[in-house]
Amino acid sequence: SQQGEEDPQALSIQEGENATMNCSYKTSINNLQWYRQNSGRGLVHLILIRSNEREKHSGRLRVTLDTSKKSSSLLITASRAADTASYFCATYIGGSEKLVFGKGTKLTVNP
């Protein structure tokens, strides 16, 4: 079974609103990453948060990590139509170099 599970599977919002996506994982981690995929393209790395960090910011992105609950959230503030994409969380399984992904959240930002 997959390590990460994103929630919700799909999210539709209006431009200017905030979008929040959640990720749960199963094993211990050194870090958790979020990626973005535009339709038909390869994934692009957005942000990495280490296991000893609780929150991290990058531009309009805010990521939180709760290792006690094995969960993370990605917040995109002031969404734009160009943010329309699928978003995935990813972790390395328990000290290995196996990088595994969740099923993703499909975000649609309506103009």
Partner 1 sequence: DAGITQSPRHKVTETGTPVTLRCHQTENHRYMYWYRQDPGHGLRLIHYSYGVKDTDKGEVSDGYSVSRSKTEDFLLTLESATSSQTSVYFCATGLGNTEAFFGQGTRLTVV
Separation of alpha carbons 57 and 48, rounded Å: 10
Using rule CB under 8 A, residue 65 touches partner 1: no
Q: Could you give the 3-state DSSP secondary structure of residue 82?
A: helix
**# of chain residues touching partner 1 (CB under 8 A):** 23
Map residues 22-61 to x or -, x wherever contact with partner 1 holds by CB under 8 A. Answer: --------xx-x------xxxxxx--x-------------
Q: Token digits for 39? A: 């339709």
Using rule CB under 8 A, residue 103 touches partner 1: yes
CB of 83 to partner 1, least distance (A): 19
Separation of alpha carbons 48 and 96, rounded Å: 17
What is the CA 51 to chain-centroid distance, rounded? 15
Of the pair 48, 61, the CB lying nearest partner 1 is at 48
Only one residue has tokens 């160009």, namely 82
What is the CA 103 to chain-centroid distance, rounded? 10
Of 65, 102, 107, 109, which one interacts with partner 1 (CB under 8 A)? 102
Give the binding site for partner 1 (CB under 8 A): 2, 6, 30-31, 33, 40-45, 48, 88, 90, 92, 97-104
